[in-house]
């Protein structure tokens, strides 16, 4: 099946390049290449940051194409509570014929022994040139046993070489500099370290030089370093042709100079691409190389996963791993997922409505960075709903003072708009609406909406300490904090449910017993100072 999206060429005349570090690459006299017999064409199908989204993986399997298929890391997600997901993720990689992926932070949410088990199940290679580990011989037996330590480094490769249509293609992997700061269980990996960007670039260059000495002149970097670091690496390295990225969840469409078309130290083009997050998208990069391994023509296509259907054979395979899901209802109408974490998310708002109603709370909250999928139109099952909240974060309720709520929103908004990738994201709500100024990264208005639908203005400049609201959210947002303020510590919980949001949502949808329409917009409003000039 071909992508249901018209191919889009990047906007360079004739879509051609010529390697020349001195001449302007857009000088028409330099664009003409050697005869066609000296060129080599190939396509790369790619995914990144699917985060264990099995339903999206099954749809991707119906659409991903390419002479070579690669992944940009964070294909898996979760710790020991998600063991079945780990098996399903590996099955996806193998069925898709992914030849290599890079070590992302979510690949090591599990302990080292479990990570090695996953590597052994994978038919391809897991790459990480900048990963280091203290030898087991220098560690205590107690820590090795307690934290599930193993010789993980020996199972990782710096690089690998694959053959595509008779040509050797070099693949190198680089994991994120902040990987060890983002782990579910940091103690599992205190014996490990990641090189900084400068040392990583130096190591990559050495590997590139080694490959080129062996006659390999087409080299792809699988990077989970993040888009900003990818751009730095593209311009500092020499010999990398393509960077398949991940980690910062960029959705990179087409090819645009200065954004994802950069030039190496010797002036050769380097193309960077990345396909968003949660497996909502995947890509196909078409490439033409000259006889020297320089890209002369390229085309970057993005496929929207929701437009593809699950293959029934694959559905059977995954059901065998995960168990057959329960049918819960039918979605009549649903919008596509938001493109970033600062856009309002009606899918998450709908779940907030359910949490608020089922727990009889005043306000329901869900952080956008925790929303991992969306409601697809058509029949849905319990796994579709679970995909929205794959982490096991128990639903909890607490009485939270108004000033704590306002401060939490202010911090989340500022942090989101201070971030080039809009992380950690805004908050989905029920029982509230609020206004943000994206230009300033500030909260400018907030209203509480009672059970009768009446709005009550909250003074965001002087929020009350003596006014509390019954707030429902997940345990992560309520008390773990991370990139958000703590709303209430565990000792102040009124209720803690033995399940996550998906259980409440599935039960609610079944009880409705009618087609669902997802259109819960209007809870986040946006303004900017430019509006005042109109």
Per-residue pLDDT reduced to its tens digit, 349-365: 999 999 999 999 999 99
For 128-142, what is the mean pLDDT? 94
Q: Which of 259, 281, 307 corresponds to the end of one domain?
A: 307
If asked whether residues 331 and 430 sit together in one domain, one would say yes
Asked if the structure places residue 317 within a domain, the reply is: no
If asked whether residues 286 and 232 sit together in one domain, one would say yes
CATH of the domain at 270: 3.60.21.10
pLDDT at 14 exceeding the cut of 90? no
pLDDT at 142 exceeding the cut of 60? yes
pLDDT at 11 exceeding the cut of 70? no
If asked whether residues 278 and 149 sit together in one domain, one would say yes
If asked whether residues 282 and 383 sit together in one domain, one would say no
Q: Specify the number of domains making up the chain.
A: 2
Nearest Cα to Cα of residue 102 among 124, 79, 135 = 124
37: confidence class by pLDDT, cuts 50, 70, 90: low
Q: What is the pLDDT of residue 271?
A: 98
Asked if the structure places residue 20 within a domain, the reply is: no
Asked if the structure places residue 34 within a domain, the reply is: no
Nearest Cα to Cα of residue 333 among 58, 54, 521, 59 = 521
DSSP state letters, 64-104 = ---SEEEE-S--S---GGGHHHHHHHHHHHHHTTEEEEE--
219-223 and 167-174 beta bridge pairing: parallel
5: confidence class by pLDDT, cuts 50, 70, 90: very low
If asked whether residues 520 and 399 sit together in one domain, one would say yes
pLDDT at 7 exceeding the cut of 90? no
If asked whether residues 253 and 114 sit together in one domain, one would say yes
Q: What is the pLDDT of residue 481?
A: 63
Cβ proximity of 43 and 298 under 8 Å: no
Asked if the structure places residue 464 within a domain, the reply is: yes
pLDDT at 347 exceeding the cut of 60? yes
For residue 175, cis peptide bond before it (omega within 30 degrees of 0): no
What distances in angstroms separate CA 249 from CA 51, 92, 231, 265, 425, one per listed residue?
11, 20, 15, 26, 12
311: confidence class by pLDDT, cuts 50, 70, 90: confident
- The SS3 of residue 14 is helix
If asked whether residues 120 and 161 sit together in one domain, one would say yes
Q: What is the pLDDT of residue 315?
A: 87
pLDDT at 423 exceeding the cut of 90? no
Q: Give the integer Cα–Cα distance in Å for 510 and 498.
A: 19
- Please state the pTM of the whole predicted model: 0.78
At 309, give phi and psi (nearest 5°).
-95, 155
Buried b (16+ CB within 10 A) or exposed e, 298-333: bbbbbbbbbebebeeebbebbeeebeebeebbebee
Find tokens 């040139």 and name the residue: 129
Asked if the structure places residue 18 within a domain, the reply is: no
What are the tokens at 139? 């560690």
Q: Give the integer Cα–Cα distance in Å for 308 and 216.
A: 36
pLDDT at 263 exceeding the cut of 50? yes
User: Could you list the residue range(s) of the whole structural domain that residue 107 is in?
Assistant: 41-307
Q: What is the pLDDT of residue 35?
A: 44
User: What's the angle, vertex CA 252, arms to CA 280 and CA 159, rounded to 5?
Assistant: 90
If asked whether residues 266 and 331 sit together in one domain, one would say no
Cβ proximity of 268 and 249 under 8 Å: no
If asked whether residues 342 and 301 sit together in one domain, one would say no
Q: Give the integer Cα–Cα distance in Å for 223 and 159.
A: 12
If asked whether residues 443 and 487 sit together in one domain, one would say yes
Asked if the structure places residue 7 within a domain, the reply is: no
38: confidence class by pLDDT, cuts 50, 70, 90: confident
Q: Which of 307, 341, 368 corresponds to the end of one domain?
A: 307
- The SS3 of residue 278 is coil
For 441-468, what is the mean pLDDT? 97
Q: Give the integer Cα–Cα distance in Å for 361 and 357.
A: 7
If asked whether residues 352 and 299 sit together in one domain, one would say no
For 371-381, what is the mean pLDDT? 91
Asked if the structure places residue 316 within a domain, the reply is: no
Asked if the structure places residue 35 within a domain, the reply is: no
Q: Which of 260, 279, 307 corresponds to the end of one domain?
A: 307
What confidence tens digit (pLDDT) does each residue in 206-226 have?
999 999 999 999 999 999 999
For 414-438, what is the mean pLDDT? 94
CATH of the domain at 465: 3.90.780.10
If asked whether residues 418 and 518 sit together in one domain, one would say yes
Using a pLDDT cut of 90, give the percent of the chain over it.
Answer: 78
Average pLDDT, rounded, for the chain: 90
pLDDT at 9 exceeding the cut of 50? no
Q: What is the pLDDT of residue 407?
A: 96
Find tokens 């710096």 and name the residue: 158
Nearest Cα to Cα of residue 131 among 74, 162, 174 = 174
Using a pLDDT cut of 70, give the percent of the chain over it.
Answer: 92
């Amino acid at each position: 099946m071909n992508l249901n999206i018209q191919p889009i060429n990047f906007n360079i005349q004739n879509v051609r390049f010529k390697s020349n570090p001195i001449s302007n690459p857009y000088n028409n006299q330099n664009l003409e290449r050697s005869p066609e017999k000296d060129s080599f064409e190939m396509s790369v199908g790619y995914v990144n940051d699917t985060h264990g989204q099995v339903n999206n993986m099954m749809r991707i399997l119906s659409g991903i194409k390419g002479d070579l298929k690669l992944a940009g890391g964070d294909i898996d997600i979760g710790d020991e509570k998600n063991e079945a997901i780990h098996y399903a993720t590996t099955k996806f990689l193998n069925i898709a014929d992914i030849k290599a992926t890079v070590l992302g932070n979510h690949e090591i949410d599990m302990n080292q022994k479990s990570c090695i088990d996953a590597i052994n199940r994978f038919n391809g290679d897991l790459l990480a040139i900048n990963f280091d580990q203290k030898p087991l011989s220098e560690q205590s037996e107690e820590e090795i046993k307690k934290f599930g330590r193993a010789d993980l480094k020996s199972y990782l490769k710096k690089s690998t070489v694959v053959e595509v249509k008779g040509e050797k293609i070099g693949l190198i992997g680089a994991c994120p500099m902040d990987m060890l700061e983002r782990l579910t269980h940091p103690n599992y990996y205190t014996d490990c370290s990641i090189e900084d960007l400068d040392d990583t670039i130096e190591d990559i260059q050495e590997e590139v030089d080694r490959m080129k000495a062996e006659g390999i002149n087409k080299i792809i970097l699988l990077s989970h370093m993040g888009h900003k670091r990818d751009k730095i690496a593209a311009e500092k390295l020499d010999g990398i042709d393509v960077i398949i990225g991940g980690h910062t969840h960029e959705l990179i469409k087409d090819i645009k100079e200065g954004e994802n078309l950069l030039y190496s130290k010797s002036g050769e083009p380097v193309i960077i691409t990345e396909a968003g997050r949660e497996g909502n998208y995947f890509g196909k990069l078409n490439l033409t190389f000259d006889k020297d391994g320089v890209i002369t023509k390229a085309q970057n296509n993005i496929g929207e996963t929701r437009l593809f259907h699950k293959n029934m054979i694959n559905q059977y395979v995954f059901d065998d791993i995960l168990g057959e899901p329960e049918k819960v209802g039918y979605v009549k109408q649903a919008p596509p997922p938001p493109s970033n974490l600062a856009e309002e998310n009606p899918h998450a708002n709908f779940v907030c409505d359910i949490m608020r109603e089922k727990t009889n709370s005043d306000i329901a909250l869900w952080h956008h960075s925790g929303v991992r999928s969306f409601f697809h139109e058509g029949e849905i099952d319990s796994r579709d709903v679970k995909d929205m909240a794959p982490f096991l974060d128990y639903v909890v309720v607490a009485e939270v003072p108004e000033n704590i709520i306002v401060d939490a929103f202010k911090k989340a908004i500022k942090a989101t708009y201070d971030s080039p990738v809009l992380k950690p994201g805004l908050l989905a709500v029920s029982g509230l609406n609020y206004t943000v100024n994206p230009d300033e990264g500030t909260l400018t208005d907030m209203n509480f909406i009672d059970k009768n639908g009446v709005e009550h203005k909250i003074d965001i400049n002087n929020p009350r300490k003596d006014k509390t609201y019954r707030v429902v959210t997940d345990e992560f947002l309520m008390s773990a904090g991370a990139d958000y303020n703590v709303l209430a510590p565990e000792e102040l919980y009124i209720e803690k449910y033995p399940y996550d949001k998906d259980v409440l949502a599935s039960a609610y949808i079944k009880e409705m017993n009618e087609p669902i329409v997802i259109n819960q917009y209007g809870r986040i409003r946006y303004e900017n100072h430019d509006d005042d000039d109109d």
